[in-house]
């Protein structure tokens, strides 16, 4: 895997298993199998200034977490087998864990009347962490950022086909922050006016680090410092830092695809619709996931059918429909529409149509004062 150095400093420290496990899992979340650079399948331990810093990377994104140590002897760095250390510490109750790191890279762990021995690797073989240069920054509440990521990241596209659509487009201004995601079949735009950044920038942030950040932010009532340069962004929250490369390129003109003439309005109870769609989508074609919406007065009739396997299912949902037309039919990918409904919060979902082949807007019926959430989905061609 890598070349061992002749010697490292002898180190010893004690840390809480619960604290270490939580931070190991945060850092480990970014790590992937890499046959070209196998050293990054592990976690870097840095012991300095009575602190332990854990670091994981996939070469595009680096996550670091720093823990205070009450008892420590020596300083230095060592790469520790990632999966093995994560699973070992995760299996322990909340007890003190003693690490003894020897000159020959042997790591001895003592905890809960058990002893574990593993081999580490030379830290010099681990990729160096690149600091952001000439950074600009702003702060945002953790809960706001977590919500913004949750509302948008699910709608990103395939990065291999079109890299810019594999990330979330973030527009930062003095008035608000806007996050946009699209996969060409649907689009989500999230605007929050409570964030006054006092800087202006357009960033395309990869989906993977944003999802890791969302997991870390859960339940936190603190601010996140967001720093960025021309090619990198950094998110610092409490003891954790996520630094990632930005996606290069120009994001599509998303505003051009948002229709302004959708005059047919359908309101339906969100969870009822979601449950009925889940039930009947089992009978839909598993390639297209097509589901038919037929609106008749105050009733929305859902139909899923697979002609190849002779399966069909229907369900109905009460609705309110405002239109000059007495009936309306339109088709959707059940899979994509369910994801949209799952990521809304309000009791009712509002659909705005123009015609059966035009883009459909989806809103929540209840809005927070500082949030504006718009979701768009393209219909699918209905079978005759």
Confidence at residue 132, expressed as pLDDT on a 0 to 100 scale: 80
- Domain end (from 125, 156, 177): 125
Our count of domains for the chain comes to 3
Residues near 121 by beta carbon (within 8 Å), at least 6 away in sequence = 1, 2, 4, 39, 42, 78, 79, 105
Alpha-carbon span 207 to 243, nearest angstrom: 13
Please name which of 330, 331, 334 lies closest in space to residue 342, comparing C-alpha atoms.
334
Which segments in the chain show pLDDT lower than 70?
1-7, 384
Confidence at residue 129, expressed as pLDDT on a 0 to 100 scale: 87
- Assess if residue 116 is contained within a domain: yes
Confidence at residue 6, expressed as pLDDT on a 0 to 100 scale: 54
Confidence at residue 3, expressed as pLDDT on a 0 to 100 scale: 40
Confidence at residue 146, expressed as pLDDT on a 0 to 100 scale: 97
- Assess if residue 131 is contained within a domain: no
Give the up-direction half-sphere exposure of residue 142: CA atoms within 13 A in the CB hemisphere: 16
Q: What are phi and psi of 335, to 5 degrees?
A: -60, -45
- Assess if residue 368 is contained within a domain: yes
At residue 88, the 3 state secondary structure works out as: helix
CATH number, domain of 243, equals 3.10.150.10
- Domain end (from 125, 153, 179): 125
Give the sign of the dihedral formed by CA 90, CA 91, CA 93, CA 95: negative
- Assess if residue 158 is contained within a domain: yes
Confidence at residue 367, expressed as pLDDT on a 0 to 100 scale: 82
Tens-place pLDDT, residues 40-56: 999 999 999 999 999 99
Query: Do residue 265 and residue 249 come from a single domain?
Result: no
Strand extents, DSSP E, 297-370:
299-306, 311-322, 327-333, 348-353, 360-364
Q: How far does the chain reach from its first CA to its final CA, in angstroms?
A: 59
**Rg of the chain (C-alpha set):** 25
Confidence at residue 8, expressed as pLDDT on a 0 to 100 scale: 74
Query: Do residue 106 and residue 182 come from a single domain?
Result: no
Query: Do residue 192 and residue 275 come from a single domain?
Result: no
- Domain end (from 216, 231, 255): 255
Please name which of 302, 297, 384, 287 lies closest in space to residue 335, comparing C-alpha atoms.
287
CB 266 within 8 A of CB 349: no
Query: Do residue 29 and residue 113 come from a single domain?
Result: yes
Query: Do residue 121 and residue 168 come from a single domain?
Result: no
Tell me the CA distances in angstroms from 98 to 48, 85, 114, 115, 125, one per residue in order.
Answer: 16, 13, 11, 10, 25
Query: Do residue 237 and residue 309 come from a single domain?
Result: no
Residues near 256 by beta carbon (within 8 Å), at least 6 away in sequence = none
Query: Do residue 235 and residue 299 come from a single domain?
Result: no
Confidence at residue 106, expressed as pLDDT on a 0 to 100 scale: 96
Query: Do residue 148 and residue 202 come from a single domain?
Result: yes
- Assess if residue 383 is contained within a domain: no
Tens-place pLDDT, residues 150-184: 999 999 998 888 999 999 999 999 999 999 999 99
pTM as predicted: 0.92
- Assess if residue 244 is contained within a domain: yes
Q: What are phi and psi of 317, to 5 degrees?
A: -135, 140
- Assess if residue 1 is contained within a domain: no
Query: Do residue 184 and residue 210 come from a single domain?
Result: yes
DSSP class per residue in 147-208: HHHHHHGGG---TTT-GGGGEEEEEE-SS-EEEEEE-SSEEEEEEETT---SS-EEEEEEHH
Alpha-carbon span 63 to 72, nearest angstrom: 23
Query: Do residue 98 and residue 166 come from a single domain?
Result: no
Query: Do residue 88 and residue 35 come from a single domain?
Result: yes
Domain assignment of residue 56, given as a range: 11-125
CB 246 within 8 A of CB 231: yes
Alpha-carbon span 52 to 73, nearest angstrom: 12
Query: Do residue 207 and residue 265 come from a single domain?
Result: no
- Assess if residue 382 is contained within a domain: no
């Amino acid at each position: 895997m890598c070349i061992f150095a002749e010697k490292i400093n002898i180190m010893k420290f004690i840390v809480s298993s619960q604290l270490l496990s939580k931070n190991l899992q945060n850092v480990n979340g970014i790590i992937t199998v890499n046959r070209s650079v196998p050293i990054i399948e592990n976690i870097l331990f840095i012991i300095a200034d009575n602190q332990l810093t854990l670091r994981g990377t996939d070469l595009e994104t680096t996550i670091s977490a720093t823990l205070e140590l009450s008892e420590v002897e020596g300083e230095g760095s060592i790469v520790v087998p990632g999966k093995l250390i994560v699973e070992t510490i995760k299996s322990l109750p909340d007890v003190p864990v003693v690490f003894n790191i020897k000159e020959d890279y042997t790591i001895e762990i003592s905890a809960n009347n058990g002893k574990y021995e593993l081999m580490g690797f030379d830290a010099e073989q681990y990729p160096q962490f690149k600091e952001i240069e000439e950074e600009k920054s702003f702060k945002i509440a953790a809960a706001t950022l977590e919500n913004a990521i949750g509302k948008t990241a699910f709608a990103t596209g395939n990065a291999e086909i079109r890299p810019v659509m594999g990330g979330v487009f973030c527009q930062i201004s003095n008035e608000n922050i806007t996050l946009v995601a699209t996969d060409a079949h649907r689009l989500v735009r999230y605007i929050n006016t409570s964030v006054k950044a006092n800087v202006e920038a357009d960033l395309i942030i990869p989906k993977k680090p944003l999802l890791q950040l969302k997991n870390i932010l859960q339940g936190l009532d603190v601010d996140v410092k967001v720093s960025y340069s021309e090619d990198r962004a950094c998110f610092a929250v409490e003891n954790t830092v996520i630094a990632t490369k930005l996606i290069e390129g120009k994001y599509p003109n998303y505003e051009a695809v948002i229709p302004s003439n959708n005059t047919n309005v359908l309101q339906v109870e969100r969870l009822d619709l979601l449950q009925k769609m889940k039930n009947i989508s089992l009978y839909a074609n598993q390639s297209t996931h097509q589901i038919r919406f037929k609106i008749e007065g105050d009733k929305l009739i859902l139909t899923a059918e697979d002609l190849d396997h002779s399966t069909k299912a229907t369900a109905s949902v009460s609705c309110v429909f405002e239109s000059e037309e007495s009936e309306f039919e339109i088709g959707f990918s059940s899979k994509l529409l369910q994801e949209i409904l799952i990521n809304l919060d309000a009791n009712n979902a509002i659909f705005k149509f123009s015609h059966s082949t035009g883009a459909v807007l989806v809103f929540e019926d209840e809005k927070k004062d500082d949030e504006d959430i718009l979701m768009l989905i393209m219909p699918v061609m209905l079978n005759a």
